[in-house]
Amino acid sequence: MPRGRGWRRRCRAGAWVQRISRFMEPCLLLLLHRGGSHGYDLLERLKEFGFAEETVDSSVVYRSLRDLESRALVTSTWDTEGGGPARRVYQLTPEGDQYLGWWIGGLRETRSVLDRFLQAYEEHMKLGNHVPDERMAEVDHRISS
Amino acid sequence: MPRGRGWRRRCRAGAWVQRISRFMEPCLLLLLHRGGSHGYDLLERLKEFGFAEETVDSSVVYRSLRDLESRALVTSTWDTEGGGPARRVYQLTPEGDQYLGWWIGGLRETRSVLDRFLQAYEEHMKLGNHVPDERMAEVDHRISS
DNA sequence: ATAATATATGTGCAGAATGTCGATAACGGC
DNA sequence: GCCGTTATCGACATTCTGCACATATATTAT
């Protein structure tokens, strides 16, 4: 969320998108549910869930994976086969699978909360509760300056 | 998100529900769009959007309102009419109205990201990618102990 | 040879967001 | 005077996130 005077200035593309807290975690868990993989590969595959390339920081991915491992929700082994530096390959544990289920439940709840909010907004606006046009124009002028 | 060993222990009712960052802000803005009001009243009316009474701390509401005011998205005046302590009555500004619109756009995007994720999960599970029952039972035993 | 690039995994820090606890204060009823 | 309700706010701690940077190996280009 943009801060300071002139909130529009900080609405950079991709940044500050209203997001779900720690959303990367369930994404990683789902990817790992499809099969073991390593951080760098997961980083690429996160795009599938709407993480734009520019907006994902690799350190967040690695940090998240290590955190999951410290909670025994994934395990890791080193893979030195093939070229390039060694890769830490993660595998989902049964506990991690249950944890993913917990996330899914919470996210479904979040979706229903979100739906109700957006419906309430549309309902409210449908009734003609708009800010008068002349006031809006005034604001547009102030914001763009 | 539950931390530490045994993630289930910290899944207290209402707490740690996967949520949208700063979601209280658009809720307050929408409530104020329906008409000026004061913090204590808004605190009550937040229930409408799924904020359970036990999980909302009043200080969070007041902090959010003062933050909005510092960004000129709402204004406030003191109301000393009626009994009890004075109430700070907030009004949405045209800038605040625009800001609400920005939130709505972002939340719609969030909803579509969430939908895609949940669909991907269901799609994946539909194909029989379950953790074998005997392993699950094993986990259930470990978790409940 | 060596320089640059791609792959791969991290640490440290600052600032933002959130949670918890309690202080303050006015008013009404006893 | 004391207590419960209404009402607002400060202070502190913790958690989350993004940014900058550090490290190391293998491949390709010069």
Answer whether A115 sits within 8 Å of B110, measured CB to CB.
no
Q: Tens digits of per-residue pLDDT, A38-49?
A: 999 999 999 889
Q: From chain A, pick out residues whose CB is under 8 angstroms from the CB of B20.
A: 18-21, 110, 114
The three state secondary structure string of A75-126 is EEEEECCCCCCCEEEEEECHHHHHHHHHHHHHHHHHHHHHHHHHHHHHHHHH
DSSP state of A76: E
Say if CB A120 and CB B27 are below 8 A apart. Answer: no
Structure tokens at A35: 């099969």
Amino acid at A77: T
Would you put residue B95 in left (φ > 0), alpha (ψ -120 to 50) or beta?
alpha
What are chain B's domains?
7-144 (1.10.10.10)
Q: What is the pLDDT of residue A79?
A: 94
Using DSSP's 3-state secondary structure scheme, residue B128 falls into: coil
DSSP state of A47: G
| Interface probe, candidates A114, A125, A145, chain B, greatest B C-beta count within 10 A | A114
Banded model confidence at residue A86, pLDDT cuts 50, 70, 90: very high
Q: For C22, which residue's CA is nearest its C1'? A: B59
* pLDDT tens digits along A104-144: 999 999 999 999 999 999 999 988 776 555 455 444 444 43
d(CA B132, CA B135): 5
Mean pLDDT of chain A: 82
- Bases of chain C below 7 A from a protein C-beta are 6-12, 16-22, 25-28
Say if CB B54 and CB B14 are below 8 A apart. Answer: yes
Structure confidence at residue B131 (pLDDT):
59
The tokens for B74 are 């709402």
Q: What is the pLDDT of residues A47-75, one digit of tens each?
A: 889 887 777 889 999 999 999 999 999 99
Through-space separation of residue B83 CA and nucleotide C25 C1' in angstroms? 13
Q: How confident is the model at residue A82, as a pLDDT?
A: 81
Q: Which residues of B touch A99 (CB under 8 A)?
A: 7
Reported as a single tens digit per residue, the pLDDT across B73-92 is 999 999 998 788 999 999 99
Look at A72 and B27 and tell me if their CB atoms are within 8 Å.
Answer: no
Q: Note whether B30 contacts A116, CB cutoff 8 Å.
A: no
Chain centroid to CA A24: 5
Q: How confident is the model at residue A6 (pLDDT cuts 50, 70, 90)?
A: low
Is the pLDDT reported for residue A99 higher than 70? Answer: yes
A24 Cβ within 7 A of any nucleic strand C atom = no
CB within 8 Å of chain B, chain A residues 49-88:
49-50, 71-73
Structure tokens at A13: 């593309």
Query: Is residue A102 over pLDDT 70?
Result: yes
pTM (two decimals): 0.83
Residue A107 DSSP class: H
Tokens of A117: 């909010």
Pick out chain B residues at pLDDT < 50: 1-5, 9-15, 134, 137-145
**C-beta atoms of B7 and A120 within 8 A:** no
Count the neighbouring beta carbons within 10 Å of the beta carbon of residue A97: 19
